[in-house]
Amino acid sequence: MIRTKPLYLSIAALVVASSMLSACSSENSGDNSSTAGSRMSEPAPTGVTLTMWNTALDTPALKNLYKAYEAASGNTIDLVTFPSDAFENTVLTKWTAGSKPDILEWQPGLSRLAALNPSQKMIDLSDLDFVEKEGTLATSSGAFDGKVYGATLGPLTEYGVFYNKKVLADAGLQPPKTFADLSSSCTELRTKAPAVAPIFEAGGDVWPTQILSGILYQADSDKNGEYLDALLSKKQQLGDADGAFVKGLEAYDDLNTAGCFNKNATTAKMSDSVDAVLKGTAAMVAQNSQVLIDTATASLAGTDTKLEDVLGFVGVSANGPTLAYAPNVTGTYYLPRSGDSEKERAAIDFINWATGPGYADYIKEAGALPTMAGHEAPPQEGLYKDIRTAYEMGAASAYLANLPGGSSLQEITNRLLNKQLTPEEAGKQMNSAFVTALAQMR
């Protein structure tokens, strides 16, 4: 798996962009009434050149997938690759100017999809076979207003707790499964290993503070998208005192108040957290798999130490070992309307092939957890074996990846860490950000 930009860092800008793009919604570049399935009533064409806008973060496995499709279909994929650090702005600028590819690799999630006005600008993929195989991921990753516009092949980013095996073993502790376990482990470690920070927090980088309170805690509340649905339908609010979101903020604040975080939690950086858990000066850190593994692997480069000998990984949520995961821009595809029926049918053929006949080989080469039912995960090595085990014990799509206004969470939880907000105040501020972003998006 490759490292990607942490989630939620630019959703706010995209939500604002969506209101600008909606002014162009009257443009109709295709047949709004037809779905992808109806366009495949004729055989898929061959000899078609399809333009794909993709990110420079694409893995060799994805690039080989494109080549395999070309060989299988007789069509050609013309890659137009944008730098990863300018990808979103580049796509939005070109899109606003009226330029569109035949296939678009794009960020998953409701707010990011809204920025591209999918109901007018994208082909509805709801009746393709992959939707059933993707299950809840199809309705959380690439869906808008009840229709599926994106196909997510993976790799996924997994969120959980990484722990130093020796530190926990020396203290006689098992890896945590719940937030109650995190609290009790903190108490034990403060007594048995007072020089060790039970949980490392990296408030200096701001974004890591959202992981414990806003991603992990709620994971078992949204296994089938029920919590997000309740928020979007306004049956629940993020500011509800007895709701999962505020409860997560309270659990986070309790850990902070109990002295479970490192003393420099408000200023420490993500790289500090990786060094600390590797060296055993911290017992645990909540982080996403791509960021931590890539950073830790780089730290151990040139040594004989294997990452899996030092660290373990578990899924942790409010009430049980639920791993939270989120799809990435890499491996998530949408089909813009072009008005060219032959190219649109060829683009749909790519989605059908990549999620069907070509998918097993892709997953095997990528070494990634499958997003489609009916496929076994390839053999995992090292720390990825722990991640696969955690995934199979129970996993849920991180609802915040699909939550309008989600980018506000990192600032709010950082203020909570700094004791500038109470959990209740933080919940109300987050709900206000959500309501505002939802109104802009619609």
Q: What span, in angstroms and rounded, lies between the C-alpha atoms of 224 and 136?
A: 6
The 8-class DSSP code of residue 233 comes to T
pLDDT for position 34: 55
pLDDT for position 328: 87
Give yes or no for a contact between 161 and 285, defined as CB atoms under 8 angstroms apart. Answer: yes
| Whole-number average pLDDT of the chain | 88
The 8-class DSSP code of residue 214 comes to I
pLDDT for position 221: 84
Give yes or no for a contact between 434 and 409, defined as CB atoms under 8 angstroms apart. Answer: no
3-state SS class at 194: coil
> Is the pLDDT assigned to residue 161 strictly greater than 90?
yes
pLDDT for position 37: 63
Give yes or no for a contact between 15 and 111, defined as CB atoms under 8 angstroms apart. Answer: yes
List pLDDT tens digits, range 299-324: 999 999 999 999 999 999 999 999 99
The 8-class DSSP code of residue 213 comes to I
List pLDDT tens digits, range 333-349: 999 999 999 999 999 99
> Is the pLDDT assigned to residue 329 strictly greater than 50?
yes
Q: What is the mean pLDDT of residues 165-192?
A: 97
Q: What span, in angstroms and rounded, lies between the C-alpha atoms of 277 and 77?
A: 43
Per cent of the chain over pLDDT 70 is: 91
> Is the pLDDT assigned to residue 26 strictly greater than 70?
no
List pLDDT tens digits, range 239-282: 999 999 999 999 999 999 999 999 999 999 999 999 999 999 99
List pLDDT tens digits, range 223-241: 777 888 888 889 999 999 9
pLDDT for position 184: 98
Neighbours of 243 (CB within 10 A): 20
Domains of the chain in sequence order: 11-155+328-372 (3.40.190.10), 158-326+398-441 (3.40.190.10)
> What's the pLDDT band for 38 if we cut at 50, 70, 90?
low
Q: What is the mean pLDDT of residues 200-226?
A: 91
Give the contacts of 284 (CB within 8 A, at least 6 positions apart).
161, 162, 163, 164, 176, 182, 185, 198, 199, 200, 277
Sign (positive or negative) of CA dihedral 417, 419, 420, 425: positive
pLDDT for position 437: 87
For 24-33, 86-95, 279-288, 324-333, which range has the lowest pLDDT when averaged over its residues?
A: 24-33
For residue 107, what are its two tokens?
A: 């960020």
Among candidate residues 413, 402, 403, 405, the one with its CA nearest the CA of residue 436: 405
Q: What span, in angstroms and rounded, lies between the C-alpha atoms of 69 and 153?
A: 14
pLDDT for position 98: 92
Give the residue ranges of DSSP H helices in 207-335.
209-211, 226-232, 244-257, 270-279, 289-300, 307-310
pLDDT for position 40: 62
pLDDT for position 5: 32
Q: What is the mean pLDDT of residues 209-222?
A: 91
Q: What is the mean pLDDT of residues 351-355?
A: 97
Q: What is the mean pLDDT of residues 115-142?
A: 90
| Strand boundaries in 94-135, DSSP class E | 103-105
Q: Which range, 217-226, 244-253, 321-330, 383-392, is most confident? A: 244-253
Tell me the angle at which helices 423-441 and 408-417 cross, rounded to the nearest 10 degrees.
170
3-state SS class at 232: helix
pLDDT for position 82: 95
For 33-37, 247-251, 292-296, 375-379, which range has the lowest pLDDT when averaged over its residues?
A: 33-37
- Bigger pLDDT: 28 vs 84: 84
Q: What is the mean pLDDT of residues 367-396?
A: 89
